Amino acid sequence: MSEEIEHVECLIIGSGPAGYTAAIYAARADLKPVMYTGMEPGGQLTQTTEVDNFPGYPAGVTGPDMMEDFRKQAERFGTDIRFGYVSSVDFSSLPHKVVVDEIKTITADTVIISTGATAKYLGLPSEQKYSGFGVSACAVCDGFFFKGQDVAIVGAGDTAAEEATYLAKLCKKVYMLVRRDEFRASKAMVHRVLNTPNIEVIYNTETKEVLGDGKTVTGVRVVNNETGVEQDLDVQGFFVAIGHKPNTDIFKGQLDMDETGYLKTVPGSTVTNVEGVFASGDVQDSYYRQAITAAGSGCMAALDAERYLAAKEHGVSATA
Ligand code: NDP
């Protein structure tokens, strides 16, 4: 069954803060953007509860409500928002080819990639049960809710170290659960952790179960992987900081990535190594990973796409 190929000026892949902000700017610039939401419309923020650090919401907002606002604003200016996932791409020639849901082919003059990243979790059923109710993968987003309380954080990389010191400023006590007898984090970060009095590092330790009262987290059961000895720690918050996976599998071999799969962009822009393809949000940012920084880079991607198209139209060099 052959289908007519649809051509669009600006295709946006992904519907987190980066994608929606790109859509708002692209629609207002009359690029008639078409957005494919992916399988999780709204992205990572739909997994969180309160968001208190996004400017413009003085009373806070829930992640799902905020993403609903983003969607409405993108639609208000005419973004064509479609539920579907991009299953493959071919960026080897212009216009770019994108296959949606494995059946529909779209050609696009510009593509804005905002597919985000996914926080890694331990994979315990109890961790999933209390996700958003004491279990979090973002200390900067959720640490505030545990002010004055005791929390645990899993991980031993730079993120875990940074988040542990962030939490230590807010919380009474932070247990840091490290699975080996050493950190992966840089020496400077480890130094900061070890010199923070209310962080207790517990080495050779793995999480067996997140404990709760049916509603929220009340503790965590850990086991020493050398001795097999188990202990329960009384904590109200359980933070997972074992890394993120950028959602870039479909771009392998097509776009330049770093060794962990994050898309490479020209510093200070959203320009990738392929003409007309721009990347914004967490998919190209392993460092800041905030809704507001993702939104900012979504704006940049739409401006980069608009300028690229304008330059092409006027026969000027099309690359930034
Ligand atoms: P990393 O991959 O560097 O570290 C992940 C950590 O999680 C490792 O210590 C790993 O343990 C641990 N881990 C993985 N799986 C499990 C598990 N199932 N149970 C317990 N522990 C587990 O990820 P990060 O997010 O920390 O960092 C990503 C990148 O971003 C790095 O390059 C980092 O340097 C960089 N970054 C830099 C910052 C800065 O410079 N300020 C801040 C934040 C990140 P193990 O060591 O045993 O493998």
* pLDDT at 320 exceeding the cut of 50: no
**Residue 168 corresponds to which tokens in the numbers above?**
């230590």
Would you give the DSSP letter of residue 281?
A: G
User: For residue 109, what are the CA distances in angstroms to 3, 30, 103, 168?
Assistant: 20, 14, 20, 48
The H or E element spanning position 7 is strand 6-13
Whole-number Å distance between alpha carbons of 74 and 14:
13
Least confident of 95-99, 132-136, 140-144, 234-238: 140-144
Locate the ligand 1 atom nearest the alpha carbon of residue 182 and give its number: 46
Question: Are residues 114 and 128 located together in one domain of the fold?
Answer: no
- Say if 318 falls within a structural domain: no
**320 within a domain of the structure (yes/no):** no
Ligand 1 centre to CA of 71 (Å) is 32
Question: Atom 34 of ligand 1 has which residue's CA nearest to it?
Answer: 158
Whole-model pTM?
Answer: 0.80
> Catalytic one among 30, 80, 90, 138?
138
Query: Which atom of ligand 1 lies nearest, measured to the CA of 120?
Result: 15
| Pocket lining: 286 vs ligand 1, CB cutoff 6 Å | yes
Q: Alpha-carbon distance 194 to 161, whole Å?
A: 10
Asked if 49 and 148 count as a contact pair (C-beta separation under 8 A), the reply is no
Q: Mean of the per-residue pLDDT values for the chain? A: 94
Answer yes or no: do 73 and 212 share one domain.
no
Q: Which atom of ligand 1 is nearest to the CA of 244?
A: 25
- Which residue is listed with tokens 């962009």? 265
Residue owning tokens 């170290």? 161
Average of pLDDT values for 277-301? 96
User: For residue 47, is pLDDT > 80?
Assistant: no
Q: Are residues 153 and 216 in the same domain?
A: yes
Residue 181 annotated to the active site: no
- Domain presence at residue 148: yes
Backbone angles phi, psi at 65, to 5 degrees: -65, -40
Whether residue 102 is found in the same domain as residue 248: yes
Query: Do 66 and 45 reside in the same domain of the chain?
Result: yes
285 shares its domain with 223 = no
CA nearest ligand 1 atom 17, residue: 122
Q: Treating both helix axes as pointing N-terminal to C-terminal, what angle do 17-28 and 63-76 enclose, rounded to 10 degrees? A: 20
Mean pLDDT value of segment 130-148: 93
102 and 125 assigned to the same domain: no
Q: For residues 86 and 94, what is the distance between their CA atoms, to the nearest angstrom? A: 18
Position 318 scores a pLDDT of 53
Q: Torsions phi, psi of 230, nearest 5?
A: -100, 150
Q: Is 307 in the pocket of ligand 1 (CB under 6 A)?
A: no
Q: Among the three residues 185, 207, 240, which one is the final residue of a domain in this structure?
A: 240
- Asked if residue 211 and residue 282 are part of one domain, the reply reads no
Residue 176 Cβ inside 6 Å of ligand 1? The answer reads: no
Assess if residue 130 is contained within a domain. Answer: yes
Q: Domain for residue 235, yes or no?
A: yes
Same domain, 294 and 257: yes
Same domain flag for 170 and 256: no
165, 175, 179: which to mutate for ligand 1, most atoms within 8 A of CB? 179
As a dihedral over the C-alpha atoms of residue 319, residue 21, residue 16, residue 275, rounded to 10 degrees, the angle is: -10
Residue 292: phi, psi to the nearest 5? -70, -35
Q: For 173-210, what is each residue's pLDDT tens digit?
A: 999 999 999 999 999 999 999 999 999 999 999 999 99
Q: Which of 141, 171, 282, 304 is catalytic?
A: 141
Residue 54: partners with Cβ closer than 8 Å, 6 or more residues away? 61, 66, 291, 292
pLDDT category of residue 26 using cuts at 50, 70 and 90: very high
Say whether 213 is catalytic: no
> 298, 70 in Cβ contact below 8 A?
no
Number of domains in the chain: 2
CB of 192 closer than 6 A to ligand 1? Answer: no
Single out the residue in 221, 240, 259 at which a domain terminates. Answer: 240
Token representation of residue 202: 């517990």
141 belongs to the catalytic site = yes
Domain membership flag for residue 1 = no
Closest-CA residue to 126 (of 233, 48, 205, 208): 208
Single out the residue of 108, 103, 96 nearest to residue 26, CA to CA: 108
Q: pLDDT tens for residues 168-180?
A: 999 999 999 999 9
Over residues 243-262, the pLDDT tens digits come to 999 999 999 999 999 999 99
Q: How far is the CA of 180 from the centre of ligand 1 (A)?
A: 12
Choosing from 242, 257, 285, 289 the residue with most ligand 1 atoms within 8 A of its CB, the one to mutate for a pocket test is: 242
> Identity (one letter) of the amino acid at 251?
F
Give the end of a domain, one of 185, 209, 240.
240
- On whether residue 232 sits in a domain, the answer given is yes
State whether the beta carbon of 236 lies less than 6 angstroms from ligand 1.
no
CA proximity to 88, closest of 101, 107, 75, 70: 101
CB of 179 shorter than 6 A to ligand 1: yes
How far apart are alpha carbons 159 and 185 in whole angstroms? Answer: 8
Residue nearest to atom 36 of ligand 1 (CA): 158
| 159 Cβ inside 6 Å of ligand 1 | yes
pLDDT band at 140 (very low <50, low <70, confident <90, very high): confident
Q: Which domain holds residue 149?
A: 121-240
CATH of residue 81: 3.50.50.60
Q: Which helix or strand (DSSP H or E) is residue 175 part of?
A: strand 173-177
